[in-house]
Amino acid sequence: MPGMLDENFSGSLVYLLEHSDKGAMGLVVNRPTDIVLSTLFEKIELKLEIAPLLDQPVYFGGPVQVERGFVLHPTDLAEKYSSSLIIADGLTMTTSKDVLEAVANGSGPEKFLMTLGYAGWGAGQLEEEISLNGWINIAIPNNQMQTIIFDTPYTDRYQKAMQVLGFDLASLSGEAGHA
């Protein structure tokens, strides 16, 4: 919600990867860090020489396991990485180094978003936060979501996702109403 006070999530767009009775997992997709890919690749001893990627930001994916990398990319069934979660709507989240090796040598996903950390909720926690007016859950068609994540400047992603609702965010209140 626009009134979210938690610094980790205020103004954040979270792409929900998984949601079950055991909990939920997502990646914040609009909060770049001060780290760029060339710096990250240096730290993990990979040589990245592809000019357009050198200054691409690494994003804050959420407050859980911020020392660990997560790569969100379109699903390519021909490409197999060691540790990937294929998401139902055409995206894959990969955590293994082989995806970064593929990026470095030019054979990796054409579009991707690299994050450090993820957003996680225990069983029932996200549902409770939604009931307390902490989150807006929006179903966005796959092609539109991929456009927002991969083709929209990070500064506009939150607004683009909210436009799906069809009203002005300024009209939302941070207070929940109960009848």
Least Cα distance to 71 among 34, 132, 117 occurs for 117
Global pTM reads 0.89
**What pairing do the DSSP bridges indicate for beta strands 57-60 and 64-74?**
unpaired
Q: 114 has which bridge partners?
A: 71
In the prediction, which pLDDT does 174 show? 56
Which of residues 152 and 174 earns the better pLDDT score? 152
pLDDT of residue 74: 94
Query: Which residues, other chains included, contact 99 with Cβ-Cβ below 8 Å and sequence gap of 6+?
Result: 71, 73, 81, 84, 108, 109, 112
Strands (DSSP E) along the chain, which ranges?
14-20, 23-28, 32-36, 57-60, 64-74, 84-86, 91-94, 113-122
Residues 116-170 have pLDDT tens digits of 999 999 999 999 988 888 888 888 888 999 999 999 999 999 999 988 888 666 6
CB-based burial label for 51 (10 Å; 0-12, 13-18, 19+): exposed
Please give the pLDDT value at position 164: 85
Quickly state the pLDDT bin for 7 (edges 50, 70, 90).
Answer: confident
C-alpha to C-alpha distance for 129 and 120, rounded to whole angstroms: 12
Give the tens place of pLDDT for each residue, 77-101.
Answer: 777 899 999 997 789 999 999 999 9
Please tell me the distance from the alpha carbon of residue 87 to that of residue 85, in angstroms, as a whole number.
Answer: 6
In this model, does residue 172 exceed pLDDT 70? Answer: no
CB burial of 135-163 (b: ≥16 within 10 Å; e: otherwise) equals beeeebeeeebbebbbebeeeebbebbbe
* pLDDT tens readout for residues 8-42: 888 899 999 999 999 999 999 999 999 999 999 99
What is the reported pLDDT for 170?
Answer: 65
